[in-house]
Amino acid sequence: MTTDSITVISANVATSKARAELANRKSKISGWNQIALIAAKEFGDRFRSGWVVACIFVWLGAIALTSFFGLIQIGQIGAQGYERTVISLLNLVQYLVPLLGLLLGHDLIVSENEERTLRLALAGGVGRLRFLAGKFLGGCLALATPLVSGFVIAGTVVGLSAKDSGVAPFLRLAISGLVLGILFLAIGLAISTFSRTRVQALVAALLAWCLVVFVFDLVALGIMISTRAPAAAQEIEVLCDTTHINSAADIHSDFDSATETQSRSGQAPENPSIGWLAANPVDLFRAINLSGQTELDVPWPVTFAATAFWLAFPLAAGFWKLRRTDL
Amino acid sequence: MQPFLEFQSVTKRFNRVDALRDISFSIERGRVLALLGPNGAGKSTLFGCFLGITIPTGGKILLNGKMIADADRAAIGYVAERVALYPQRTVIENADFFTRLKGHSSHEAEEQLKRVGMSGARDRKIRQLSKGMLQRLGLAIALCGQPEILVLDEPFNGLDPALLDVLQGILREENERGATLLISTHTMSAVEPLATDAAILLRGKLAAFGALEKLRAENNSADSLEDIYYQIARGQYVTEEMFA
């Protein structure tokens, strides 16, 4: 064998080795790490844009004002205990939190698609499910930070100023409010995957908000009254309390009369329209938080099942759509 | 022996338009494929199918004999025709994010920025970059982690001669390292010094594929890649598209 051919063979062996090494180079990143990276980036972007900080201030201000002036409709003013504060805050939470969730979620995917950055992420080995999960978790962080901060600060102030130790209703409000926000973030995310442009997504998100916060209750009550009026008549007052239709003032009045008579238990109607409440996360939220003031007590299995459905369904729909979308 | 990368009857239909029609070919590791064709021939769609951006209507894409999966794409570097990154973030933040997403270190991103001459602009926002700088940044991100396959969609568009030279040098180095290169382009003179194989797409169909020597021999000893392309395109009666 000549020296030349030995050189050629050893060069070929070296090249083959280099190529084999290259072939064996596997990415060490796990799916969880990719999800965490995307979530951290999403939260970082929201934080830098001022969204998180602005939300903290808006939320804190809204809670403080509502808590302090919440009883103005019945001629009182000043810091109230936890239970009163919860009643005053209900409307604010049920209007504002779904809106925050939808506004945060509506552009999570569509903006990445419009700016064509989603293509680069997918081409780099990020699966569509992981991308969706990362964006959702990042959105949850961006939503939870102002909400939790607001509830913790406001809760502490209410507790100290009203010298109230019965924090359970407030905790229930905070946790259910956070869950409500996350459900609407998931709905916003689904809207984002189905939309072609950010404008389209924004319009769809606002329509969804109007539908669940305003239209749904009126339509539901209208259907109930027109289809089974005698039975509905017995439930209508309860349902009006647990939907947005009754004002906070009415519930505060109920609260006062209940405190006087101490006769609230054991009066649940036989056939409460829990199905209607479970069909709308906002109504479910309100029913959970008013279980002490109204005669309607939503069973926990129904609450969990409805919550799981409203979380899983939009996420699954969003993933279904994203898997079928050409970018 | 199974081919390194194989396209088996890949088809893609957008509503009523057949963007890709039964595309089948395979290439070995370490080759440089020039993907040629007029605008709308399906080059970017074919790359999109390979990269998981576009969902094929039918067919299979195999890497090392197995259906390509999301995880396999971490070993692919991709430079889009129009490099799109997060505009509110800086050069280094973008490079770092996409590098770490593939499981490589931030140090790798710094190294590749240096390699493409972008380390001086590391703290500039994406919206402040020129097209050429954006192209270089896209290349740096694609090069992170020594990818097995580099996919470049029209990489030579709008580059000045000096930058073209730099890009060709880097691509040559990557190929010598063992990377397989898939390059779609209209600038045939720029890809010719690098290419070992060529595939010509016309109206979504594979009009020709093979090693350059073979294609030259089959096309009356054509002198250049451009000659090969025009001869094949003329033969397929799509001269109007060819000049589009």
Per-residue pLDDT tens digits for B124-156: 999 999 888 999 999 999 999 999 999 999 998
Checking if the pLDDT of B115 tops 50, the result is: yes
Q: Do B148 and A28 touch (CB under 8 A)?
A: no
Residue among B34, B41, B17 nearest B210 (CA): B34
Mean pLDDT taken over chain A: 81
Checking if the pLDDT of B162 tops 70, the result is: yes
Q: How far is CA A220 from CA A226, A273, A280, A295, B56, in A?
A: 10, 10, 10, 19, 44
By the CB < 8 Å criterion, does A268 face chain B? no
DSSP A47-95: HHHTHHHHHHHHHHHHHHHHHHHTTGGGT--S---HHHHHHHHHHHHHH
User: Quick one: pLDDT at residue A159?
Assistant: 84
Q: Do A125 and B141 touch (CB under 8 A)?
A: no
Averaged pLDDT, A287-292: 80
Close Cβ partners of A304 (under 8 Å, ≥ 6 residues apart) = none
DSSP B102-154: TT--HHHHHHHHHHTT-GGGTTSBGGG--HHHHHHHHHHHHHTT--SEEEEES
User: Quick one: pLDDT at residue A217?
Assistant: 80
Place B116 in a pLDDT band, splitting at 50, 70 and 90.
very high
By the CB < 8 Å criterion, does A116 face chain B? yes
Averaged pLDDT, A11-33: 57
Averaged pLDDT, B181-196: 93
Cα dihedral across residues B123, B126, B131, B137: positive or negative: positive
Checking if the pLDDT of A93 tops 70, the result is: yes
By the CB < 8 Å criterion, does A322 face chain B? no
Name which of B14, B85, B103 is nearest A117 (Cβ-Cβ). B85
Mean pLDDT taken over chain B: 91
Close Cβ partners of A89 (under 8 Å, ≥ 6 residues apart) = A63, A66, A67, A70, A173
Checking if the pLDDT of B123 tops 90, the result is: yes
Nearest residue of A to residue B99, measured between CA atoms: A124
By the CB < 8 Å criterion, does A14 face chain B? no
User: Quick one: pLDDT at residue A263?
Assistant: 42
Averaged pLDDT, A99-103: 95
Q: Do A125 and B74 touch (CB under 8 A)?
A: yes
Name which of B14, B52, B82 is nearest A123 (Cβ-Cβ). B52
User: Quick one: pLDDT at residue B199?
Assistant: 95
Least confident of A213-222, A304-313, B183-192: A213-222
Contact call for residues B236 and B72 (beta carbons, < 8 A): no
Name which of B55, B64, B75 is nearest A326 (Cβ-Cβ). B55
B173: chain A residues, CB-CB within 8 Å = none
Averaged pLDDT, B160-165: 88
Exposure string over B207-235, b if 16+ CB within 10 A, otherwise e: bbbbebeebbeebeebeebebbbbbbbee
Alpha carbons A90 and A55: distance in angstroms, whole number: 18
By the CB < 8 Å criterion, does A121 face chain B? yes
Question: How large a percentage of chain B has pLDDT more than 90?
Answer: 72
By the CB < 8 Å criterion, does A49 face chain B? yes
User: Quick one: pLDDT at residue B94?
Assistant: 96
Provide the CB-side half-sphere exposure for A23 (13 A, CA). Answer: 13
Question: How large a percentage of chain A has pLDDT more than 70?
Answer: 73
Checking if the pLDDT of A17 tops 60, the result is: no
By the CB < 8 Å criterion, does A41 face chain B? yes
A–B CB contacts, 8 A cutoff, strictly below = 111
Residue to test with chain B: of A120, A326, A327, most B Cβ within 10 A: A120
User: Quick one: pLDDT at residue A327?
Assistant: 84
Shortest distance, CA B214 to any CA of chain A (angstroms)? 24
Close Cβ partners of A46 (under 8 Å, ≥ 6 residues apart) = A52, A104, A138, A142
Averaged pLDDT, A155-170: 84
Averaged pLDDT, A101-124: 94
B86: chain A residues, CB-CB within 8 Å = 45, 115, 117
Cα dihedral across residues A97, A98, A102, A105: positive or negative: positive
User: Quick one: pLDDT at residue A243?
Assistant: 56
Phi, psi for A319 (deg, rounded to 5): -65, -40
Averaged pLDDT, A142-170: 87
Residue among A55, A193, A14 nearest A118 (CA): A193
B72: chain A residues, CB-CB within 8 Å = 125
Checking if the pLDDT of B64 tops 50, the result is: yes
Alpha carbons B117 and B87: distance in angstroms, whole number: 20
Averaged pLDDT, A72-100: 81
User: Quick one: pLDDT at residue A293?
Assistant: 65
Name which of B82, B146, B151 is nearest A22 (Cβ-Cβ). B146
Provide the CB-side half-sphere exposure for A239 (13 A, CA). Answer: 25
- Alpha helices for chain A (secondary structure H): 3-24, 31-49, 51-69, 82-105, 110-114, 117-123, 128-162, 168-194, 198-210, 216-227, 229-242, 248-261, 274-278, 281-289, 300-323
Alpha carbons B122 and B66: distance in angstroms, whole number: 38
Nearest residue of A to residue B49, measured between CA atoms: A326
Per-residue pLDDT tens digits for B189-236: 999 999 999 999 999 999 999 999 899 888 877 778 888 898 888 777
User: Quick one: pLDDT at residue B80?
Assistant: 93
Q: Do B178 and A48 touch (CB under 8 A)?
A: no
Least confident of A4-13, A204-213, B55-64: A4-13
Averaged pLDDT, A80-88: 81
